[in-house]
Amino acid sequence: MAFEQDHSALLTGARTGVAGAETVPPLGRSGSKEFTSRIVPPLLAVASVIGIWWALYAIYPRLLPSPLSTVQEAIRLLSDGTFFFHMYQSLRRVFVGSLVAMLFSIGVGIYMGTVVMGERFFQPLVVLGLTIPGLMWALIAVMLFGINEFSPYFAVTVTIFPMLVINIWAGVKSLDKELIDMSHVFHFTKRMKITQVILPQLVPNIFAATRYGLGLAWKVVVVVEMFGTSNGVGYQVMKSYQVFNMEGVIAWTLTFVLAMIVIEYGIINFAERRLTAWRPKIDVWRR
């Protein structure tokens, strides 16, 4: 009898639990698992690079400095304040140049994607810009403007501008027409269309362009600093190179990489997560 009652409850979907005593099943991954899955893969990537370096050092000890002595040199740079001064100079050049390029590229990219005449005018210029190496711009900038702050700004801006424009232009080309029509129907102003409808659709393109652009900007700034300034990371690398201080060259490169990691994970990733919080997480490989 009791057995029948139990089953009839199941069949009718009646709840047998006490009200308020409902237990919530585990929803998704726990916080610690999420943290582990986020931290472990990049740490493994770094560890694998160090492992290879150590192995090469073991094979060619006269060619490569040891990871330990290089880290000691990097710690010295960090502790005596040299790093912060020169890194600040390089960062400033990278950011100012990138910011100017980004502002122009968003405007030009949207113009190219929305106005046929704009596309016809800028397309050959952008293609031309893409074919000129950053090193050429670095040389031209120093020759044109001399050893001053304008040279790195100019070199960074003109080097990354075409690549940023290509990304933004491609994004504008794939804008959702239905949303643009909706904004027209509901009488959105031009400003509303740009800020509320077009730019949010370009966020993935802007982030892709930012990542690639910053990487390229660093390279250009280092080259300009090597022969066109009297401070910055590139200048320090050149100084170490001139006295054949391999630890110094690699230590500066490492600190440089460290700064890039901080920017990538501390700023870009954070901003991207904030700006794409509306998008449900997709698990492509789930079974």
Residue ranges that bind another protein, judged by CB under 8 A: 178-179, 181-189, 192, 196-197, 200, 203, 275-280
* 123 vs 201, beta carbon nearer another protein: 201
Distance of closest approach, residue 116 Cβ to another protein, in angstroms? 17
Give the whole-angstrom CA distance, residue 272 versus residue 75.
Answer: 31
* 91 vs 275, beta carbon nearer another protein: 275
* 140 vs 179, beta carbon nearer another protein: 179
Distance of closest approach, residue 219 Cβ to another protein, in angstroms? 33
Kindly give, in sequence order, each residue whose CB lies less than 8 Å from that of residue 94, ignoring residues fewer than 6 positions away: 156, 214, 217, 218, 221
Would you state the structure tokens that stand for residue 48, as one six-digit string? 């694998």
Kindly give, in sequence order, each residue whose CB lies less than 8 Å from that of residue 235, ignoring residues fewer than 6 positions away: 86, 225, 226, 229
* 4 vs 178, beta carbon nearer another protein: 178
Q: Nearest-CA neighbor of 169 among 139, 211, 128, 198?
A: 198
Give the whole-angstrom CA distance, residue 11 versus residue 186.
Answer: 50
The DSSP annotation for 215-241 comes to: HHHHHHHHHHHHHH-SSSHHHHHHHHH
Distance of closest approach, residue 209 Cβ to another protein, in angstroms? 19
Distance of closest approach, residue 181 Cβ to another protein, in angstroms? 6
Distance of closest approach, residue 157 Cβ to another protein, in angstroms? 29
Distance of closest approach, residue 195 Cβ to another protein, in angstroms? 10
Kindly give, in sequence order, each residue whose CB lies less than 8 Å from that of residue 78, ignoring residues fewer than 6 positions away: 84, 255
Kindly give, in sequence order, each residue whose CB lies less than 8 Å from that of residue 117, ignoring residues fewer than 6 positions away: none
Distance of closest approach, residue 230 Cβ to another protein, in angstroms? 46
Cβ-based neighbour number of residue 54 at 10 Å: 14
Total residues belonging to the chain = 287
* 33 vs 184, beta carbon nearer another protein: 184
SS3 24: coil
* 54 vs 207, beta carbon nearer another protein: 207
* 3 vs 278, beta carbon nearer another protein: 278
CB 164 within 8 A of CB 103: no
Distance of closest approach, residue 277 Cβ to another protein, in angstroms? 8
* 201 vs 245, beta carbon nearer another protein: 201
CB 233 within 8 A of CB 225: yes
Which residue's structure tokens are 């990538």?
264
